[in-house]
Amino acid sequence: MEPDAAFWRGKRVVVTGHTGFKGGWLTLWLRRLGATVTGISLPPDTTPDLFTLARVAEGISHHLADIRDREAVARIIREADPQAVFHLAAQPLVRPSYDDPIGTFSTNVMGTAHVLDALRFCPNLRVVAAITTDKVYRNREWPFPYREDDHLGGHDPYSASKAGSEIVAACYRDAFFKDRGVALATARAGNVIGGGDWSLDRLIPDAVRAFGGGGTLHIRRPDAVRPWQHVLEPLAGYLRLARLLFDDPGLAGAYNFGPHTSEAATVRQVVELARAAFGGGEVAYGPGDEGPHEAGWLALETAKARTLLGVRPLWSLEEAVGRTMAWYARQLRGQDARELCLEEIAAYEALLQGAA
């Protein structure tokens, strides 16, 4: 499972959304592996932000652009001449999608189309990994994990827009890339936690702000179940997926990345783990019906990634939450965010090597 530094060294890689939480971690990891990275993204939208604190722009070709701007995206991608692309740029939150559904659809659906259309004209392109979410499935509130061949859908604009981006990706794979030997895969993962996420309306960042500031963390839906995982778990999966697609384009398709089904956990369980790791904090649990509709139960079946890619989770939920809260605590004490990320990546790589 471990990322192959000899393979990635010198590879020309485009990462969209590199100023975001997952994109920032992925960019740091690719640079550590020796890849030549071009980033395309809007400016960070939180204060503070991982991109700035971890100096993610160091050593990469950094471009601020909106993926809704077709001409700008095409120009940057043409100049980068990528061999591999990780498309993460998105409007990534459920509740804001209710406030701005058109912006969410234009970014997540048409933005994906702009990126993929620009890639049609890249002569050296071999692999595209389009990152979507666990919420692309038509949620039936049933007690079964969702598989890659289950129906797509979405009650809220975010989920629906990401399901739409899956359809766009499948179209480009079949209509344009397959005959060229370019492998396009979609990667479905969600509820990712880790240090450096300061997004509003996400559980761990909200907890860090409340606990660190002496406030109360308000939880709308404490019994909602999600497949929580540390950010390095899916990123390791994406890197593994892209590496194998270089050699075997026939593996192209959709993949779930997540914890073992048995480790899907409630919001309440994650909050209590975070509170214990932080050393205390005030929490107010709501009745479970506040705000607009959100899925109550969601888990992913990851047998495909485990069987075809050899990808499996390595950190338990308790370990993931503990490491995440420790990252924030150390950063708040003045430790360098970039060094904290690279230290975490090194620890995960060591675990991967031990599991090989």
pLDDT in tens, 195-216: 999 998 899 999 999 999 999 9
Give yes or no for residue 356 having a pLDDT over 70. no
- Write the DSSP symbol of residue 300: B
Say if 115 falls within a structural domain.
yes
Record the pTM.
Answer: 0.96
The answer to whether residue 21 is domain-embedded is yes
pLDDT at 1 (0 to 100): 65
Cα 287 to Cα 57, 216, 220: the distances in Å are 43, 16, 7
What single string gives the DSSP state of each residue in 124-165? T--EEEEE--GGGB-----SS-B-TTSPB--SSHHHHHHHHH
Look at residue 288 and tell me whether its pLDDT is greater than 80: no
> What percent of the chain shows pLDDT beyond 90?
89
Any idea which residue has 């939180």 for tokens?
46
Handedness of CA 16, 18, 19, 20 (dihedral sign): positive
CATH code for the domain in which residue 120 is found? 3.40.50.720
Alpha helices in 215-336 (DSSP H): 232-247, 267-278, 303-304, 317-332
pLDDT computed for residue 265 by the predictor:
94
Is 204 contained in some domain? no
232: in domain: yes
Q: Note the pLDDT of residue 287.
A: 85
Domain assignment of residue 214, yes or no: no
pLDDT digits (tens, 9 = 90+) for 33-42: 999 999 999 9
152 lies in which domain range?
Answer: 5-194+228-259+293-315
When pLDDT is cut at 50, 70 and 90, the band that residue 290 belongs to is low
Does the pLDDT at position 295 exceed 70?
A: no
Tell me the pLDDT tens digit for each residue of 216-226. Answer: 999 989 999 99
Residue 223: inside a domain: no
Instruction: Give me the phi and psi of 80, to 5 degrees please.
Output: -75, -30
Indicate whether 82 belongs to any domain: yes
- Three-state DSSP at 276 gives helix
**Residue pair 117/168 in contact by the 8 Å Cβ criterion:** no
Closest-CA residue to 315 (of 135, 194, 147): 194
pLDDT tens, position by position, 239-249: 999 999 999 99
Mean pLDDT in residue range 88-104:
95
DSSP 178: G
Number of domains in the chain: 1
- Name the token pair of 150: 């289950």
Mean residue pLDDT across the chain = 95
Average pLDDT over residues 280-291: 85
Residue 30 lies in a domain: yes
The DSSP string of 239-270 is: HHHHHHHHH-GGG-SEEE--S-GGG-EEHHHH
Is 213 buried (19+), middle (13-18) or exposed (0-12) by CB count in 10 A?
exposed
Most confident option among 72-81, 254-263, 284-293: 72-81
Per residue in 158-177, pLDDT (tens digit) is 999 999 999 999 999 999 99
Tell me the per-residue pLDDT of 4-19, one tens digit each, with 9 for 90 and over. Answer: 899 999 999 999 999 9
Residue 261: per-residue pLDDT? 86
Residue 304's CB is within 10 A of a number of other CB atoms, namely 18
Kind and range of the H or E element at 230? strand 229-230
Query: Please, which residues have CB within 8 angstroms of residue 234's CB and are 6 or more apart in sequence?
Result: 22, 187, 189, 192, 257, 258
Read off the pLDDT band of 122 (50, 70, 90): very high
